[in-house]
Amino acid sequence: MQQLESPQRPRGLAIAVKPDRRPSRVDRLGLWLSKGSTIDRLWIGTTESKPYPALHRVDDALQLIKRYDPLNYSRITRNLDRIWVHLLPSAQAHYDRSLNACALDERYVLNETMTLEQIASTIVHEATHARLEGWGIQYLEAMRIRIESICLRRELSFLAKLPDSEPLQDEIVRALEWCTSDPDFYSDKNFWWRRQEGEVETLRYLNAPNWLIRWAMWLIRRRRQRASVLPES
């Protein structure tokens, strides 16, 4: 049986998604079950269990932004209502329009190789998505490369204020170059495929039974086969 691979992309290319304006029932339940607190009018929460290591890392990343870039920090607290750590099947992070939230994947935040500077940079990225949405710039397919480029440049501006951040800046520069060279990455179709594959990886992370993982993989293959025979609109 073919094994699906996780979506691969440069770090820092933390994308936005464009869900319905109203939160889903699953998200509402997840928020209700989350542990969180409010700091400077910004709710920060997580679905993880005690001792909430991801939550502490996000707190530390926010303090890093506040220390080195007060202007960006004020934009984050003004443009976002929430920073929510939970399991994301489609990305390491995204801006959730329905919750006006920077959503961070638990695995991404807790990754031993992930630094506070990278987490802080990602939060800056997602807050920029929120700011653009507030200006009426919607995350439409035709606009996505320009929007992602703006958010990546905002990351660069933030990182330039941090000491010893040159390697991270170089990483974002490479992400910017890659962003413009592969526009198909941001198509609705590819967003959908990445979410399907990410759901399988999430099931593995949760130690779901093998029969459920096999069924999910079979379902993805079937959907792809159907999509391949449908005429393009």
More confident site: 117 or 12: 117
pLDDT at 12: 39
Please determine, for residue 44, whether its predicted confidence score (pLDDT) is greater than 60: yes
* The predicted structure's pLDDT at residue 10: 39
Give yes or no for a contact between 204 and 212, defined as CB atoms under 8 angstroms apart. no
pLDDT in tens, 101-119: 999 999 999 999 999 999 9
Residues recorded for the chain: 233
Q: What is the pLDDT of residue 21?
A: 65
Q: How far apart are CA 119 and CA 161, in angstroms?
A: 15
Q: What is the pLDDT of residue 101?
A: 96
pLDDT at 69: 97
**Pick from 79-88, 152-161, 164-173, 174-183: least confident:** 174-183
Q: Which pLDDT belongs to residue 211?
A: 85
118 vs 7, more confident = 118
The pLDDT of residue 1 is 28
Which pLDDT score is estimated for 228?
61
pLDDT for the residue numbered 215 = 79
Across 29-58, average pLDDT: 93
Judged on CB neighbours under 10 Å (0-12, 13-18, 19+), 84 is buried
pLDDT at 5: 31
HSE-up of residue 127 (Cα within 13 Å, Cβ side): 25
Residue 83 clears pLDDT 80, i.e. is over it: yes
pTM for the full predicted model = 0.83
